[in-house]
Amino acid sequence: MFYAFILVLWELLFRASIWPDYLFPSPAGVFSALVKGIYDKTFIIGLLVSLKRILLGYSVSLVLGVVLGLLLGSFKVLDDMAGPLLLGIRTLPSICWLPIGLLWFGLSEKAILFVVIMGAAFSIALATDDGIKNIPPIYLKVASTMGAKGPRRYLTVILPAALPSIVTGMKLGWAFAWRSLMAGEMLFVSLGLGHLLMMGRELNDMKQVLAVMILIVAVGITVDRAVLGKIEQQIRKRWGIISLET
């Protein structure tokens, strides 16, 4: 019902002719541009390129973030020194990393991946750190009593106990990674959805701009809800954080 209201309001604003058609197209015009982009495979190619980049960049971010979070949560001295710095770095807009990426890697895939990794890894690291800090002390005492030490302690106690927080960090990391990727793709020719967005702007084609934006939002929501959201829900049920009946 809410989305129907948005479409009706959009159509009414279009019919009011407050803005020219090329600046404020109708819902039907945007839908037509979306169908055309899918039919001629322009949007399909851009989507596949972006998904390939995000899969690689997000995977690296996940590994780096979890490892860094484990280190921060395990060593208080490191957390005291590096924790505030990482928190400050996380507040940086992802686009701030692009000049460094371009200087280090040039106009290449590595520059975009660098922006994605830097945009997501710290959120995952801080969430992992928080998860470890919030582990009930009794868990660690029981683990020590039963002889769980070293890697075994991390694999059987610390990581499972911190997993709900890690998954929350994964969701935040995904949002930052997806935004970072779009920012990187928009700033130089690289194919991908971000590039298609800028092409629409350069061609003064608002229909394409809005169609690509809808596609970007759809992918972001789908991964967050259908993939990471399901994982989070199952883990919370398994850990007894939410009722099995919900």
Q: Does residue 101 lie within any of the structural domains?
A: yes
Residue 140 in any domain: the answer is no
Q: Are 123 and 173 in contact (CB under 8 A)?
A: yes
Cα distance between residue 114 and residue 53, in whole Å: 11
Q: Is residue 102 included in any domain, yes or no?
A: yes
Average model confidence (pLDDT) for the chain?
83
- Count of domains for the chain: 1
For the chain, strand residue ranges (E) read none
Domain interval for residue 219: 26-134+162-238
The pTM is what? Answer: 0.83
CA atoms within 13 A on the CB side of 206: 11
Per-residue confidence (pLDDT) for residue 240, from 0 to 100? 65
Q: What is the pLDDT of residue 24?
A: 85
Strand, helix or coil for residue 93? coil
Of residues 141 and 23, more confidently modeled: 23
Reading the block at residue 192, the tokens are: 């991908």
Average pLDDT of the segment spanning 87-97:
80
In a domain, 243, yes or no: no
Is 139 domain-assigned? no
71 and 171 Cβ atoms separated by less than 8 Å: no
CA distances 211 to 155, 194, 245, Å, are 45, 12, 39
* Closest to 211 (Cα-Cα) out of 79, 27, 11: 27
pLDDT at position 246, please? Answer: 45
For 127-155, what is each residue's pLDDT tens digit?
888 888 887 777 767 766 766 666 777 77
| Cβ atoms of 181 and 50 closer than 8 Å | yes
Judge whether 226 lies within some domain.
yes
- What does the alpha-carbon distance between residue 106 and residue 170 come to, in Å, rounded to a whole number? 29
- Whether residue 149 lies inside any domain: the answer is no
| CATH value at residue 230 | 1.10.3720.10
d(CA 132, CA 135): 5
- Answer yes or no: is 244 within a domain: no
